[in-house]
Structure 1
Amino acid sequence: MEVVDLLIEARWIVPVDPAGVVLESHAVVINDGRIVAVVPQSEAASCFSARSHKRLEQHVLIPGLVNLHTHAAMTLLRGLADDLPLMEWLQRHVWPAEAQHVSEQFVYDGTLLACAEMLRGGITCFNDMYFFPGAAADAALASGMRAAIGLITVDFPSSYATDADDYLAKGLAARDQRLEEPLLSFCLAPHAPYTVGDGGFSRVLTLAEQVELPIHVHLHETIQEIEESVQRFGIRPIERLRRLGMLSPALIAVHAVHLDAHEIELLAQQGCSIAHCPSSNLKLASGIAPLAELAAKGINIGLGTDGAASNNRLDLLQEMRLAALLAKAQSGRADAIKAHQVLHMATLGGARALGLEARIGSITPGKAADLCAVALDEFALAPCYEPVSHLTYAVAREHVSAVWVAGRMLVENGQLIESNETGLIKLALLWQNKIRP
């Protein structure tokens, strides 16, 4: 009998790969932070001796959720300036607050708060874009969380860097210091076509090809962004990036709300990924992305929360529900996007966009044991005919009962094991008093 670290038995297991599969009364076998096997519970009992045993009798076990786009440190700006259009929100409120307050400590503390919120909701990996990426990386590590850290680039100076070259140099230095951290990966993160010039994009592309990193960029988020691009460059942003050579399987296009048929075809042909952020798109009145059309073209799609300043919740289960419902309304077809597709977006789709599909995103032997257990045992969730339907349309993040990252349990019985929740609240209040005395 093989001795292993952990055996998790669950009423339902949804591996995500193969697609559409729901396993009943199975077990996940884990050793050294990796999945060894997924087998019927009777086989697990006869073949494995586990040092630790977790029984989830009325739960569904899924891969840890992957938040494909966020600005984690912006939890400290949650609710600062609500109910405003994107550019007014940015130019009159967010950017001035950032200019005054963003520092290494701000980013560390804000990311620490975000990690606790995300873990509590079943998110085990997030793709970040913000200043002081080294501080964000350190906060993720302190939380035990997996993170893809974006090395941000903009053309204007900030408290972090002075110009595009300085942003890239500092970002690469932060990456080089943490290359051996198994929970970290990195992206190049030019902010948006309206904040990065052609020269900055060219330098990003050269680096991406040299060090083989994904490129994470806001793209076609608003009509205003597109109109300004036409005025400045004579072309729409996607066409501008195409001419610069930026469209490729390395590109993660964040939002991608306003697309014509040719642009959707172009993204599909070039193998780009989309980070779909439905709550943020709605809150900032950016629009409703053509999710059904994107999926029909075979484009890889992941889900993102965006930052807490433009969403107010880092809740990927909520994004799953919204993504499915909006796609039905936008397309006029109730079957446009189905529950299993949305779960794929929230897990393997995000992992694939980050180049991490060989490590995370599905409950597959050999992959890291990044897992999320959702309890379906309360009356408000009864009856349960199909657990993936419940995950998409019925549950909330409050139903997440257990979370593991690389086999390490970080949430148990719905509570964070290693984070001091009282201390996090005090930390947030301290920053609130600084930002708005």
Structure 2
Amino acid sequence: MHPTVIDTLIEARWIIPVEPSSSILTEHAIAVHQGVIQAILPIPEARSRYQPAHHVALKQHALIPGLINLHTHAAMTLMRGLADDLPLMTWLKQHIWPAEARFVDARFVREGTQLACAEMLKGGITCFNDMYFFPAAAAEVVTACGLRAGIGLVVIDFLSAYASDADDYLAKGLALRDQYPRHPLLTFCLAPHAPYSVSDKTLSKVMTLAEQLELPVHIHVHETQAEIEESLTTHGIRPLMRLQRLGLLGPNLIAAHMVHLNEDEISLFNQYGGHVAHCPTSNLKLASGIAPITTLLQQGVNVGLGTDGAASNNRLDMFEEMRLCALLAKGFSGQADALPAWQALRLATLNGAKALGLEQITGSLVAGKAADIVAVEFSELELSPCYDPVSHLVYTAGREQVTHVWINGQLLLDNKELVTLKESELLSHAAYWQKRLTS
């Protein structure tokens, strides 16, 4: 019997498929053809069964599913470090929003998103859920460089260089969505910024469109205590209850942050089947608080991980988010076995895919899914010895150990070198915008 011709065969010391949760496959290989995982099997069997056009042997590596950044503002990478050590509303109102009003345009978003995509690829992120102005520029970048992305069709109730009012934001966003029907790498979310920046009238329109078009809704919710107090003063109810009243709670809702929740709100959110994008680093840096992740998970809420934007993190680093998420859960709950390493990895992969409605496509290494694969090298001194590769991924390894990234079977990071993006150009763009923003 002749070997089956395939595009790529990737061998590794370990394969960590995420499904099932506790599975670790030693000395196995992944067969990839036409962007899809064909099989995962022991190396000797793979070599006899397949004839690959590209054969990659990674003897000291673990292969994991591509990491999914469930909440970010990619273009804001150009604002990394612009205004640090400030509380959220001071940071927004006195620094970020004025800078955006002066400088953000399609070029800013295009070049900021390129910089973000490069950073994310080098850190093993294969999919991100974005929310920012000029989403057409972000979609252009993503399709050119080969990442998978959920493009947020941003909506906010104030004038910007991108749109004049809420109706204009929605019209431009939906027109963009129509330009990419059934694109293999792009999905879209309606992205009202936050309850405090979007009116009831606009949120009602978002709810109607989300139901009609079967689109997820991506929104900041309960990020700070001040946000809740403002809602009580303005609307007489807490933000989450306001979203319920407007019909926005449901299985298509991706709520970013969700830091300040009481028991009734956690139960309510679980009842409606929404998803949480947990952003531990950003929440700590802006002094927003610590989200009750262990309670959310115990209630059955689907929780994924996000970096938020690099302006408030200041990294697009999902390895850091996994580690911090697990450590905070332990410290907050007082239980050392809270949120173990395998669960932190699941939050960063399959749970994020589920929130985006992509769990049948990505988020785990399973035959039939897209070949979104990340290789992490374990040969360095700092990772030796290794008793449990999953534990090492969360508590020991960092993004600097990522060597290869495939998305839809396409190699986009080859031995730590970007394939579809030029670092020299990105550095030049970053220097240009730094000079403009500090002029």
Match of 1:252 in 2: 254
Give the AA of the match of 1:79: G
- Mapped to 1, the partners of 2:237 and 2:388 lie a distance apart of 47
- Mapped to 2, the partners of 1:340 and 1:298 lie a distance apart of 17
- Say yes or no: does 1:305 pair with 2:307: yes
Q: TM-score, normalised by structure 2?
A: 0.99
Match of 2:316 in 1: 314
Q: CA deviation at 1:45?
A: 1.3
- Mapped to 1, the partners of 2:330 and 2:151 lie a distance apart of 33
Match of 1:149 in 2: 151
* Secondary structure, counterpart of 2:126 in structure 1: strand
Match of 1:261 in 2: 263
Q: CA deviation at 1:417?
A: 2.2
Gaps of 5+ in 2: none
* Secondary structure, counterpart of 1:97 in structure 2: helix
- Mapped to 2, the partners of 1:340 and 1:126 lie a distance apart of 21
- Mapped to 1, the partners of 2:118 and 2:27 lie a distance apart of 30
Q: Alpha-carbon deviations, 1:413-435, whole Å to 9, x = none?
A: 12212321111101100111111
Given the alignment, which residue of 238, 241, 250 partners 2:240?
238
Given the alignment, which residue of 92, 112, 115 partners 2:114?
112
Match of 1:417 in 2: 419
| Aligned pairs (5 A) from 1:5-404 | 5-404=7-406
Q: Alpha-carbon deviations, 1:387-418, whole Å to 9, x = none?
A: 01001000110000100011111111122123
* Secondary structure, counterpart of 1:9 in structure 2: strand
- Mapped to 2, the partners of 1:281 and 1:407 lie a distance apart of 34
- Mapped to 2, the partners of 1:72 and 1:310 lie a distance apart of 11
* Secondary structure, counterpart of 2:288 in structure 1: coil
* Secondary structure, counterpart of 2:348 in structure 1: helix
Gaps of 5+ in 1: none
Aligned-CA RMSD value: 0.7
Q: Alpha-carbon deviations, 1:187-209, whole Å to 9, x = none?
A: 01000000001111110011111
- Mapped to 1, the partners of 2:292 and 2:165 lie a distance apart of 35
Q: CA deviation at 1:180?
A: 4.0
- Mapped to 2, the partners of 1:182 and 1:378 lie a distance apart of 36
* Secondary structure, counterpart of 2:237 in structure 1: coil
- Mapped to 2, the partners of 1:335 and 1:72 lie a distance apart of 33
Q: Alpha-carbon deviations, 1:211-236, whole Å to 9, x = none?
A: 11110000000000000000011110
Give the AA of the match of 1:172: L
Give the AA of the match of 1:3: V
Q: Alpha-carbon deviations, 1:111-145, whole Å to 9, x = none?
A: 00000000000000000000011101111112211
Q: Alpha-carbon deviations, 1:142-173, whole Å to 9, x = none?
A: 22111100000011111111111110000001
- Mapped to 1, the partners of 2:214 and 2:5 lie a distance apart of 38
- Mapped to 2, the partners of 1:118 and 1:377 lie a distance apart of 22
Q: CA deviation at 1:178?
A: 1.7
- Mapped to 1, the partners of 2:382 and 2:346 lie a distance apart of 25
Q: TM-score, normalised by structure 1?
A: 0.99
- Mapped to 2, the partners of 1:137 and 1:70 lie a distance apart of 14
Is 39-48 or 379-388 further displaced after alignment? Answer: 39-48
Give the AA of the match of 2:64: I
* Secondary structure, counterpart of 2:374 in structure 1: strand
Q: CA deviation at 1:181?
A: 2.4
- Mapped to 1, the partners of 2:142 and 2:5 lie a distance apart of 31
Q: Alpha-carbon deviations, 1:301-326, whole Å to 9, x = none?
A: 11000000000100001000000000
Identity, in percent, stands at 60
- Mapped to 2, the partners of 1:282 and 1:24 lie a distance apart of 37
- Mapped to 2, the partners of 1:297 and 1:162 lie a distance apart of 41
* Secondary structure, counterpart of 1:253 in structure 2: strand
Q: CA deviation at 1:110?
A: 0.4
* Secondary structure, counterpart of 2:86 in structure 1: coil
- Mapped to 2, the partners of 1:60 and 1:180 lie a distance apart of 32
Give the AA of the match of 1:129: M
- Mapped to 1, the partners of 2:379 and 2:352 lie a distance apart of 28
- Mapped to 2, the partners of 1:135 and 1:414 lie a distance apart of 26
* Secondary structure, counterpart of 1:58 in structure 2: strand
Q: Alpha-carbon deviations, 1:304-362, whole Å to 9, x = none?
A: 00000000100001000000000001111111110000100100000000001111000
Is 225-234 or 411-420 further displaced after alignment? Answer: 411-420
